[in-house]
A and B are shown apart, each in its own frame.
Chain A
Amino acid sequence: MANAAEDFSQFGISKEEKDKLVGELIRYMLFKTHQNSGCPIKREELTQLVTKNYHQRNLPTFVINEAKEKLSFVFGYEMRELQRAHPSSKAQTRSSQQSVADSKSYILISQLPPNVYEKYVVDVNTAHLSGFTFVIISIVYLAGGKIPEENLWSQMRRMGLGETEASHPVLGNVKQALELLVQQRYLQKDKVNGPEGNTVYYELAERALDGPMNDRVKEYISQIVQDNTSVGAA
């Protein structure tokens, strides 16, 4: 508390004003996460919440950090910062052009242990999307982190998920479900010019490359491989 008061007094705003800004940012994170089904929220959007009424330098950073603490303390959510990943073919050119601040975004992740989360928090109405996400990420991962679009659809067709399927009983529009993974930054698309024309690739994006997520994917893949092995032995 004392530290917070000292920190914000240098910006010339009261504790009440600070608390209001922090509360607004928390609300924005929660509502936007719900509306966009968990798509990352750009740091620039959060900054503008503060700068539209206050112009002190570095104030947005303080408010964002305070909101991080509050989200963890009150809701048990980690407000994780992601650095935007770029398609491998454009990594060098783009990284030099875009500013660092422009490529930061945030997602909310529950800090509860997995077993507690699964027992009390997982929503059965959206659990199928998690399963879909896991399978697609695993396929791209096994392909070395990058897979041609046609190859991905070939694998999906083997699971009964066709590109033109618009009324799948669980996923609905399959193409849209895959596109949502791109918006949520689990995957990214990359167009590459080659001798045979343009080829579209799917690559793992920053959400899937995030440490804990990456580890869990490996764990689940090895688990499935073991299951298949034991089935084969029987």
Chain B
Amino acid sequence: MRRKAVSSILSQVPRVQTASSRPLAPILAITPASRRYSSHPPNAKLNQQVQFNTSTYLSHTTSTSLANPELPSSIRTSGNTSKLNLYQAINSALSTALSTDERAILFGEDVAFGGVFRCSSNLLDRFGPDRVFNTPLNELGIIGFGIGYASHSHANTAIAEIQFGDYVFPAFDQIVNEAAKYRYRGASEFNCGGLTIRMPVMGVGHGALYHSQSPEAFFAHVPGLKVVVPRGPVQAKGLLLQSIRERNPVIFMEPKILYRAAVEEVPVDDFTLPLEKAEVLAKGSDITVISYGTPLYTVELAAKAAKEMLGVSVEVIDLRTVYPWDKETVFESVKKTGRCIIVHEAPRGGGLGGEIAACIQESCFLNLEAPVGRVTGWDVHMGLIFEQFNVPDVVRVFDTIKKTMDY
């Protein structure tokens, strides 16, 4: 699915600090369709390319976009949307956050010139170097600094960027021992709730070991944090704005392959979408498929194939907030369908799939007709040339649906 040439993005950005304002032509070049390391097999029936421009999980027209019942009525009646890809939607959210909250600052490696994924384009010019700035190349410093800024006043908002989710680990101590525990140990007299940590995550076709990881499960084990993964531009804008305005530290993971690939009509004005709420993307009666981020589009193709080839009606749920996640929506669906699989790119062992499966087993035991299935990355690292075998693709999702239905 991630072999769509045009949808491929940069990702192999050298981790050097640049202060130039040249357009990133050589770095951000769209790769030619003939690239060999992630090409589309011509005879594939299941592993088709994702057609983002026709995906039903994205709003392609103003009217479908504004029909979203979660949007405030003022937005729904405004009629104002514009066609944005994921990075532009993030940019719109950041711009809205900075203009509506004068105590909000945005910082990280290379954010000043617009960011290596262009998410912070033009923000320096609009909000000035005091509020949008580069930091030294030090992740623990970025997060520690953000905690300090946010802990200074309840009204302070710190939006920190980690250049890739793969590089968040030097800041693990600051996130787990400090950000997550600040309110608890300070008994609410002190907190760093104004902190939001953004990071690009998941596979990108050629990211290998250190530009492909999905570290959400590491953080979904830490009380005090919220972890959010949007699936597209509208979600990204609404969920990011809510994450920034929440007075809890939020880790906001942006599926980097969607930065340019996923395009939607996004409401122009200021709106938020709720955290800790899942969304049912497709109604179905035979099996529930739970996922978040990039693999949702794989699930969409697999569900289509399951309908056509097996006559199976699949209910698809986007968790959106993966911690704390929306158990009510999930359990309600599984109790109805009696079958369930979970799909994520991160490795299986200790992944979120295990936690979700355990909770479903506890709460839906009498409704389950089959074991809860998990389609995930293998328990390996993302070897460059092997990515197509490591990400959960349409074949594996389809096959797990089939096995679960046949159980």
Q: Are A and B part of the same complex?
A: no
